[in-house]
Amino acid sequence: MTDDRAQPAPDDNRASADDTHAIIAAAFERGKRAFEGGQYRGAIAALESATARVNPLSAWGGEIQLFLVSAYEGGGDRQSAQTLCRTLTQHPDLETRDLAKRLLYVLEAPVLKTRPEWIVEIPDLAAAEASDERLQRGSSATPRQPPEPQPWIPEPVDPSLVNLHDNRFIGVALLAVALLGIAIALSI
């Protein structure tokens, strides 16, 4: 009796691996975009999905998990971030291990207290009153063109302020040049 079920061809395993790689890559990209956009919950969900499918001991798996550590921290789950980061300090990939050690050092650093005078509070303009048209309208005025630069015209000099008398400098300078010329001519 023969089995009617189709046996997977060798190429089917390759296609399955390519599909898995594409799924992991897509989840990783979604996680990175969400993380960079400050959407940490979405980043955590996408990165956890990618981590569940990737070989966690590969270099790529380590990279995904490092992003997950950062997403945990950004989302306020410092304990999960530290736990995963401690695990990654034992990762087989050297670069992942080194980055995890550096990141763990930052995660375990004490939180510094900030003084109120160090903080700048930015007002929420969404709550601005609707009656204040300047805040609602924005700057719709056309930008002013800078004035064209005027050509520089020197101020006329008053001839009565100019020293027109010979101060003997020109005569001394001509004499020095003549003596220097004679000395050079005689040495040749």
Structurally, the chain folds into a number of domains equal to 1
* Domain contains 136: no
Q: What is the DSSP letter of 57?
A: T
Q: Please write the tens of the pLDDT for every residue from 92-112.
A: 999 999 999 999 999 998 878
Per-residue pLDDT, 112: 80
Residues whose CB is less than 8 angstroms from the CB of residue 46 and which lie 6 or more positions away in sequence, other chains included: 27, 28, 30, 31, 34
Q: Please write the tens of the pLDDT for every residue from 37-63.
A: 999 999 999 999 999 999 999 999 999
Per-residue pLDDT, 132: 58
* 106 alpha-carbon distance from chain centroid: 19
pTM: 0.55
Full domain range(s) for residue 62: 15-111
- CATH number where 29 lies: 1.25.40.10
* Domain contains 107: yes
* Domain contains 124: no
Per-residue pLDDT, 121: 82
* Domain contains 28: yes
Give every residue of the chain whose pLDDT is below 50, as ranges: 1-11
Per-residue pLDDT, 119: 83
Which residue, among 76, 136, 129, has the nearest Cα to 107 in the 3D structure? 76
Q: What is the DSSP letter of 140?
A: -
Q: 3-state DSSP helix/strand/coil percent for the chain, to nearest 5?
A: 60, 0, 40
* Domain contains 78: yes
* Domain contains 49: yes
* Domain contains 138: no
* Domain contains 187: no
